[in-house]
Structure 1
Amino acid sequence: MLRFSNFLFPESRDPDRDADVIADCIAEAKLCDELGVEVLWLAEHHFDGNCAYVDPVTFAAAVLTATKRIKVGFAVAQVSLHHPMRLAEEMSLLDNIGRGRVIVGLGRGTAYNVYEYQGYGIPHEEAGERYEEAEGIMLQAWTSPNGFTHEGKHWTLKVPRLRPTPFTKPHPYLIRAASSEEGALHLARRGLPFLMNVQTNETTAKRIALYKQTMTEAGFDAAHLARCLDETWVWRNIVVAETDEEARRIGIPAFEAMQEHRKTLREKIYAEQGIIMKRETAPPARVGIDSGLVVGSPETVAAKMAEIEATGVGGVICSFRLGPMPADAAASSIRLFMEKVAPRFAPKLRAAAD
C-alpha cells in the first residue's frame, strides 16, 4: 500500500506578501488534515523566499495547534544551522504539543545555497561533521534522564536533563535524508528508513534494490526490511486537474518558474563572490515531467503513482503548490488527488470513497 503526504514548500517572491503566503500555508495544512493526508512535511530554507515560513520548527507549532490528526514532519531540519541542544528541546516540545504527531527529519543542510551558511556565520565545509555530531547529541539528550556531558569538535556540553521530556518514548520518531546512493546505503547498513529527493523512477528503483540488498547483507531480517521500506519516502512534484491538458497548462509553467527561482540567488552569489557549493540546472519542462513532475488527470496521475509503487518505495512526498501557483489551484489539486487518486492505493480510503 503506497502512502501519501504533502510537502508544504511555498515560494514567496514578494516580501510584502509573506504574511499572505504563510496564511495560505496554514489553510493548506488544515485542508490536508480534513482530507486524510498522512503527513505534512516542512522544509527549511533561509534568505531567498523559496520557503515562505523559513523556520519549520516555529511553523510546526502553528500547524500542530491548527490541526487534529495529521503528522508534521521535517524534510528536513537543517541540523548544521542549529545548536543541537536547542533543536532537541524544540523537537521535544513539538512532540508534546502534537502528542506524538511529530516526525523529526534530519539532514546536514542545503548542498546548494552557500548563503544560508554565510548568513548564520557557519563555514559550509563543516556542515557534514556538524550534522553528525549534532545528531548524536540530540539522541543523547532525549534518552538521558540523569543528564549527560559531551566533549566534541564543535560543542562542549554539561546538560542536567532535557525538559520537556519527549512525549514519544524513548524519543520522537526520527528519520534521515539521503540525497545520494552512498547516503542511502549508509542508512541501510544501520537498518534505518530514509527520505529521498526528486529523481526518476529508474533511480528510485535502483536505489531501493541496492538498499534491500545492503540491508540483507548487514543481517537484518525480512520483517525489519519491510518496515523500513514502508517508512521510506520519495519526493515528487504533483499537479492534478480534471484533464491532462488543464493540468499541463497549470503545472508546467509553475514548475519551470519554480526551478528558475530556486537557483537565482545562488547564481547571484556566485557572480559576486565566486563561491558555489553545487551547481544545479533547471531541466526543460517536459524532461522534468519524467524526473520530478507528475502532471495530469486523476487517471494519469494514478498510473504514475502505480509506477512509483512498483519501485518498492513506501510513500510519496507530494509537493502540490509549485512556485508562483495560486493557493486555490494547489488546493484543487490536493482535493482531486485525495478524492480520486489516493483511494486507489489505500483500502481504508477506498472503502470510505465507496
Structure 2
Amino acid sequence: MRVGVFLFHESRNPSADAQVIDEAVREAKLAEEEGMDAVFLAEHHFDGNCVYVDPPTFAAALAMATSRIKIGFAVLQTSLYHPLRIAEQISLIDNLSKGRLIVGLGRGSMVNLHEYSGYQIDPDSAQDRFEEIEQILLQSWTSEELKHQGKYWNFDVPMMLRPRPYTKPHPQILRSVASEGSISAQARQGRPVLMAAATAAGAARNVEAYRKAAREAGLSFDRIDHAIAESWVSRTVVLAPTDEEAHEVGLPYFRQMQTYRAAQSSAFEAMVAKSNAQPAPPVLCGSPESMVEDFVELARTGIGGVSIRFRTGPMPAEFSRRALQLFMRDIAPRIREVAPAPAAS
C-alpha cells in the first residue's frame, strides 16, 4: 500500500498565512524525506480552511521543492475553472514535475457555497460544468486542435494546447466519490477513484460496492484489481506517542477545526452534529499502537494508497510533523507488507 500526506493547513488569522504556507511546504518536503509516496492538496477559498487556496500554483511550487514524491489534487474544484486555463496549468505542472501528477477531480464543495458566490458560478450547474470540463481536458491533451461545442463552452482554435503533457497521453485522472451511487458509476467504467473513509470498515464497504458494480458491468477481475490498486482513500488522524496525549492535546485541535468550519457553513455544522452524535470519536485518535491494526485492515481491502491529514485546526507544525514521522516509523512498514484480497475472492 502506498502512503501519502494530505496537506490541508488551516489559517484563521491572515497575518499568519505566510508562516502556515511555509509550514505546508516543509511538511511536503518532510514527507518526501521520510519516504512517502505522494502529497495531496485540497482546495478551498476565502475562509482560511486551506491556506494555500490555489492547488495548481502550490503544486508548481512543490514540483520545484521536491524531486521524487508524487503530487496529487484531492481535489480540484473543477467547476470553478475555465477548462482551457486549467488544462494549460495541469500540463505545465506535469512538465515541471516530470510526470509526478495525480489529477483528482471533483465538482466542488456543496458545503461551502460562498466559493460559488465568489466565482459567480451557480452551484446547481456544478455537476454539468464538471462533466464538460473533464471532457475538454482530455480532448485538449490528446488533440491537435482546440475544438469544442458544449453547454457552457464553445471554441474553435486551429492550434493545439501548449505545453503538451509530459505524461503520455496525459496525467492520471481520478474522480472524487462520496456516495455509493458515485462509486458505482465510476466502477462500471473501471476508473480509479479518490474516496474518504474514517474507518477501515467504511473503506471496505466502499471497495465492496465498487467491486460489485464493476462485476455487474462485466469487468474482468484483473481490471477490477488494477483500478482499486490505483485508487486512494483519504483519512484524518490525530497521532501522538501516547493515547493520552493524542486525546488530551491533539483531539482538541480537531474539535476546534470543526467549530471553525461549522460557524461558516450550516451544511458543515449539520455534518459535525451527526458525526459527534456517534459513540466513537469522529476521527482516528491515539498512538501508533492503537491505530496500526485499523490501517492494516485498510490495506487488506486492496485499495492502492492512503493519504493522511495529520494537521487539523490550529495544531502546531511540530505536532503534525512528529505525527508524520511516527506514522512512517511505526505504521507504514506494516501496511506496505500487507497482501490485499483480490477481487476474485
The whole-number CA distance in structure 1 between the counterparts of 2:277 and 2:23 is 26
SS at match of 2:175: strand
Aligned twin of 1:49: 48
Aligned twin of 1:352: none
Answer whether contact 2:263 2:269 (CA < 8 A) is retained: no
Are residue 304 (structure 1) and residue 294 (structure 2) matched?
yes
SS at match of 2:233: strand
Flag the 1:278–1:193 CA change in 2: closer, same or farther, 3 A: farther
**After superposition, where does 1:132-171 map in structure 2 within 5 Å?**
132-144=131-143, 146-159=144-157, 160-171=159-170
The whole-number CA distance in structure 1 between the counterparts of 2:320 and 2:23 is 10
1:279 deviation in Å? Answer: 4.4
1:306 deviation in Å? Answer: 1.5
Residue 332 of structure 1 aligns with an amino acid whose one-letter code is R
SS at match of 1:265: coil
**After superposition, where does 1:1-354 map in structure 2 within 5 Å?**
2-144=1-143, 146-159=144-157, 160-267=159-266, 279-282=270-273, 283-284=275-276, 287=279, 289=281, 291=282, 293-347=283-337
The whole-number CA distance in structure 2 between the counterparts of 1:117 and 1:179 is 19
SS at match of 1:214: helix
Answer whether contact 2:200 2:295 (CA < 8 A) is retained: no
The TM-score normalised by the length of structure 1 is 0.91
Answer whether contact 1:256 1:285 (CA < 8 A) is retained: no
SS at match of 2:164: coil
Residue 155 of structure 1 aligns with an amino acid whose one-letter code is W
Structure 1: segments with no counterpart, 5+ residues: 268-275, 349-354
Q: Percent identity?
A: 46
Answer whether contact 1:114 1:277 (CA < 8 A) is retained: no
The TM-score normalised by the length of structure 2 is 0.93
1:162 deviation in Å? Answer: 0.6
Answer whether contact 2:261 2:268 (CA < 8 A) is retained: no
The whole-number CA distance in structure 2 between the counterparts of 1:16 and 1:285 is 35
Answer whether contact 1:30 1:67 (CA < 8 A) is retained: yes
1:231 deviation in Å? Answer: 1.6
1:240 deviation in Å? Answer: 2.1
Aligned length: 336
Aligned twin of 2:343: none
Residue 280 of structure 1 aligns with an amino acid whose one-letter code is M
The whole-number CA distance in structure 2 between the counterparts of 1:199 and 1:138 is 31
Answer whether contact 2:146 2:161 (CA < 8 A) is retained: no
